[in-house]
Amino acid sequence: MASQEYVDKMEARKNFTNLWHTDLISTMQVDLPYCCLAFWCGPCVSYMLRKRALYGDMNRYVCCAGYMPCSGRCGESKCPEFCLFTEVLLCFGNSVASTRFLLQDQFNIQTTPCDNCIIGFMFCLQQLACIFSIIAMIVGSDEIQAASHALNCLSDSVYCTVCACMQTQHKIEMDKRDGKFGPPGPMAVPPVQQMSRIDQPLPPQAGYVASYPGQPAYPPYGYPPPAGYPPAPAGYPPAPAGYPPPPPQPYSSQPYAPHGYYSK
């Protein structure tokens, strides 16, 4: 059941429509100092970003953000700070990826094809370096051994660079979430004491009310209830025989919009 849930989440991510505020290639241009900090102090940055992604509430922390089989089984509830420290130190790659998945699932952010190519190239280079190391160990050739060392250095450099860019991307996205680029958008988390419009109780006069028979119901938000039409003067002749009675005329051809909303 758990594995199927993970597969369903991965399938759901394909339908996400939002984009990162900055792609991986542009992170160095947007925030070069933070990108350098993430390159040289990756685990420390990963710790800070995960805690920030949880809005500073470590009671919500779960190992690897709940995306690994060990999540929730490492004593996180007793000492979340130490568990997060252990995660970013021993499983640095998983900590970066977990923070990324956490933000993507929270804000419906898709990964662009360009970002996928960069991340895929990093993985392929790591696998190639591993294969060359195995071949060099089996063959024992100095040339292959030297090529293996060079490929490993290149793979590690690309890995550290991509992880630094990813963490900078996460930081910029949370800056956007926290309103540092302007007023917070719809992704901002409301205060605890503030209820949404759906949760607020309706006032006693709320609802659609018909003032008198034959009139359609209308929402009274922002409008006083109609006092009704005056009675028709006496002496009107009855309708001619054989004609159907006229249909009741609506009070208005356009429904009233609830207070606070507008129609586009």
* Digit-coded pLDDT (tens) for 123-159: 999 999 889 889 988 888 888 888 889 999 999 999 9
Query: Is 222 domain-assigned?
Result: no
Higher pLDDT, 181 or 48: 48
Residue 168: band (very low, low, confident or very high) from pLDDT cuts 50, 70, 90: very high
Query: Is 244 domain-assigned?
Result: no
Residue 183: band (very low, low, confident or very high) from pLDDT cuts 50, 70, 90: low
Query: Is 210 domain-assigned?
Result: no
Question: What is the rounded average pLDDT of the residues 231-259?
Answer: 50
Q: How far is it, in rounded angstroms, from Cα 44 to Cα 257?
A: 52
Encode pLDDT of 50-101 as tens digits. Answer: 999 999 999 999 998 888 777 777 778 888 999 999 999 999 999 999 999 9
pLDDT of residue 224: 42
The residues, ordered by sequence, that sit 6+ positions from 23 with a Cβ below 8 Å of its Cβ are 112, 114, 115, 169
Query: Is 221 domain-assigned?
Result: no
| Cβ atoms of residues 132 and 151 within 8 Å | yes
For residue 92, what are the domain limits?
A: 2-177
**Half-sphere exposure (Cβ direction) of 139: Cα atoms closer than 13 Å:** 14
* Domains of the chain: total: 1
Encode pLDDT of 200-218 as tens digits. Answer: 333 334 343 444 444 444 3
Of 84-88, 182-186, 221-225, 241-245, the range with the lowest mean pLDDT is: 221-225
Question: How many CB atoms are closer than 10 A to CB 166?
Answer: 24
pLDDT of residue 29: 92
Query: Is 241 domain-assigned?
Result: no
Helices (H), 18-141: 27-30, 32-40, 42-53, 80-90, 92-107, 113-139
Q: How far is it, in rounded angstroms, from Cα 129 to Cα 153?
A: 9
Query: Is 88 domain-assigned?
Result: yes
Query: Is 41 domain-assigned?
Result: yes
Query: Is 253 domain-assigned?
Result: no
Burial class (CB in 10 A: 0-12, 13-18, 19+), 235: exposed
pLDDT of residue 245: 56
